[in-house]
Structure 1
Amino acid sequence: MARLFDAYIVADWTAAETKKLGDNSLWLGVAKRDVRFRLYSETHNVATRAEGEALLASILADHRKRGDRVLVGFDFNLGYPAGTAARLKLDGTPWRAMWAFIDKNVVDKPDNTNNRYQVAAKMNRLMTDQAWPLWGAPASQAQRWLTTTKPPEGAGADIPEFRATEDAARKGRLQPKSVWQMHGAGAVGGQTLMGVPAVIRLLDKMGPSGAVWPFGTGWRELGADDVEPLSALVVEVWPSLYGAKPEAGEFKDQAQVRVTAERLAAMDDDGTLAKAFAPPKSATPALIERVEQEEGWILGV
């Protein structure tokens, strides 16, 4: 069976407000094949999101010149729980409306200074006029519409805490975080706000040769005909699925991006990657529409 992709890139993004290398910083893992089609991997660590975005754009441009197809995985949410766009009174397809809202509101400077907590507070003000559903901030960033701690039990109970993909993942041993959590160990809310604008800019550079799954492709098994016109397909990944163990001298995040990229390559080799793009057999038409139009899905869940 022919492989769908020639290279696999996994980005462990960061919401850091200062330049940072090593643990809890921005890492890229790249798995690709040499001239003898043997898989090898490399990792890159950069101190700022601007550097990470530029490096990723450069790697993708090099592959595009060679006519390669690249799978690009980001470790943050590409969508929000159902109803978020409606509560923000945004028009249009929910995922596109959310991306446009984030892109319009987020300020991210070259030195990593950013306004993610102010954007979270604005979202709370517009959605509930209370300090929820988004929560978690350093004491210096806390304010009326954003608190340091999780809202009291029952606050915003009509707003889903998780997307369908996280609910599916939570049936196993892993416990994904909610996109509403902005701060604390493993929090993904800040990374999502800082990452979505970078994905938008990268896709803009690629034009019609870039696509995002499942929003732009449909939630279905993908074949060679689907990816043949593309230079890159963007997906959401969750490295914790793959149980990476750091090798000697490796940082945890470094091991995660390397192992995730290698695992995606292995799935492509054995034909299981194509099937991973499809919904579970139990998915209802309503769920498929919700995933394709608003929430997205984590590849591999």
Structure 2
Amino acid sequence: MARLFDAYVIAIWTAAEGKKTGEQSLWIGVAKRDVRMRLKTESHNAATRAEGEAMLATILGDLAKRGDRALIGFDFPLGWPRGTAERLKLSGEPWAAMSKFVASNVVDKADNTNNRYQVAAKINRLMTDEAWPMWGAPARQAQRWLSSTKPPHPADIPEMRETDRRARVGKIQPKGQWQMHGAGATGGLALVGQPMVRRLLERLGSSGAAWPFGTGWRALTAEDVAPLSALVVEAWPAMVPSSPEPGEFKDQASVVAAAEHFARLDDKGELAALFAPPKDIDDDTRAAVETEEGWILGVR
């Protein structure tokens, strides 16, 4: 069976508001094959999101020159819980509408300063005119429409996406996307990460796509990905066991291990099936995942 991809890129992003390298910073892991088709890995560390975005563009440019088709995984949600776009009164296909909304509201400067808490407050104001569903601001960022502590969650707004409910590593489960701050929170990451993905896809044009929004939620074939130079997915590197070598950082080891993991699955012809939904998914959930929520690659 032909491999779907030639290279595998996994990024652990950051919502930091200052420059930082080393642990708990932005890491990119790359697994690619040499001229003898042996898998080689490398890792890259960036002090800011702007540096990381430029670094990623260079990596993808180099892979394109080699003629390599790349799988690109990011560790933050690419979509939102079902109904978010509707509550915000956005028109059009929900995922595309949310992508445009977030990108047009988030200001993320080269030094990592950004307005993600103000955008979270705006989302709350437009969705409920209360300090929910988004929450978890540092005390200095708390305001009328954004609280530091978790408020009562409105019953008519899903607290988590379906993929987050199903994802688990031991006793660890992804936190609901509405949480902005704190260990494991993904709300802030989504707000600063999604505009970067939008810019990436705009640069790739017809040679890029995001799964499952641009491909459908189904097992992919070599013919499906043949027109692409890169396919963007949501990944959770913690699903792949990793152990840092001496002098290596935890996140550094994690992105490399995840990139190698997808490469090995592709070698064995087992990667394609991960793009299909679990067998117990109903039609309504499938439609929500394909058009708004997205899915973490590998979650069953």
**Which residue of 220, 223, 229 corresponds with 1:222?**
220
Moved over 3 A (4+): 170-174
CA contact (8 A) 2:121 2:146 kept: yes
2: CA distance between counterparts of 1:59 and 1:192? 22
- Partners of 1:65 and 1:37 in 2: CA distance: 17
- Three-state SS of the structure 2 residue aligned to 1:42 is strand
Partner of 2:30: 30
For residues 34 and 161 of structure 1, the distance between their equivalents in structure 2, rounded to whole angstroms, comes to 44
Local SS of the residue matching 1:235: strand
* Deviation of the 1:290 alpha carbon: 1.0
Instruction: State the match for 2:146 in structure 1.
Output: 146
Q: Which amino acid aligns with 1:209?
A: S
Structure 2 residue 270 is matched with structure 1 residue 272: yes
**1:88 corresponding residue in structure 2:** 88
Note the alpha carbon deviations across 1:113-141, whole angstroms, 9 max, x for none: 10000000000111111111101011111
The residue aligned with 1:127 is 127
Question: What is the match of residue 53 of structure 2?
Answer: 53
Cα distance in 2 between the residues matched to 1:170 and 1:19:
31
Q: Which residue of 2 aligns with 1:236?
A: 234
The 5 Å alignment of 1:61-76 reads: 61-76=61-76
1:156 is matched with which residue? Answer: 154
Q: Deviations over 1:231-250 (max 9, x none)?
A: 00000001111122222211
- Cα distance in 2 for residues equivalent to 1:244 and 1:119: 35
Distance in 2 separating the partners of 1:284 and 1:189? 26
- State the Cα deviation string for residues 10-62 of structure 1 (Å, max 9, x = none): 01111111111111111000011111111111100010101100110111111
- Report the Cα offset of residue 150 of structure 1: 1.0
Residue by residue, what CA displacement relative to the aligned partner does 1:254-282 show, whole Å, maximum 9, x if unpaired? 11111111101111111111000001111
User: Is 247-256 or 15-24 further displaced after alignment?
Assistant: 247-256
Q: Would you say the 8 A contact 2:169–2:239 is kept in 1?
A: no
Unaligned runs of 5+ in 2: none
- Separation (CA, whole Å) in 2 of partners of 1:202 and 1:170: 29
SS of the residue 1:73 aligns to: strand
| Aligned counterparts of 2:282 and 2:293: Cα–Cα separation in 1 | 15
Distance 1:5 1:211 in 2: 14
Root-mean-square deviation (Å): 1.2
- Matched residue SS, 1:44: strand
- Do structure 1's residue 213 and structure 2's residue 249 form an aligned pair? no
**d(CA) in 2 for partners of 1:254, 1:225:** 33
Q: What is the distance in 2 between the residues matched to 1:21 and 1:172?
A: 28
Q: Describe the SS at the equivalent of 2:125.
A: helix
The partner residue of 2:184 within 183, 186, 193 is 186
Q: Any gaps of 5 or more consecutive residues in structure 1?
A: none
Pairing 1:249–2:247 present: yes
SS at match of 2:271: helix
Separation (CA, whole Å) in 1 of partners of 2:157 and 2:117:
20
Partner Cα distance (2:172, 2:204) in 1: 34
- 3-state SS of paired residue (1:272): coil
Are the aligned partners of 2:105 and 2:119 in contact in 1 as well (CA < 8 Å)?
A: yes
In structure 2, the partner of 1:290 is: 288
Structure 2 vs 1, CA of residues 112 and 125 (structure 1 numbering), >3 Å: closer, same or farther?
A: same
How high is the TM-score relative to the length of structure 1? 0.97
User: What is the TM-score with the length of structure 2 in the denominator?
Assistant: 0.97
Q: In 1, distance between residues paired with 2:141 and 2:283?
A: 42
* Structure 2 counterpart of 1:299: 297
Q: Aligned partners of 1:180, 1:97: CA distance in 2, in Å?
A: 18
Residue deviations 1:179-210, cap 9 Å, x none? 10100011111111000111111111111000
Displacement of 1:222 in angstroms is 0.4
**Is the partner of 1:126 in helix, strand or coil?**
helix
CA–CA separation in structure 2 for the residues paired with 1:49 and 1:168:
29
AA of the residue aligned to 1:7 = A
Q: Percent of aligned positions with the same letter in both sequences? A: 68
User: Aligned residues, how many?
Assistant: 299
Structure 1 residue identity aligned to 2:143: Q
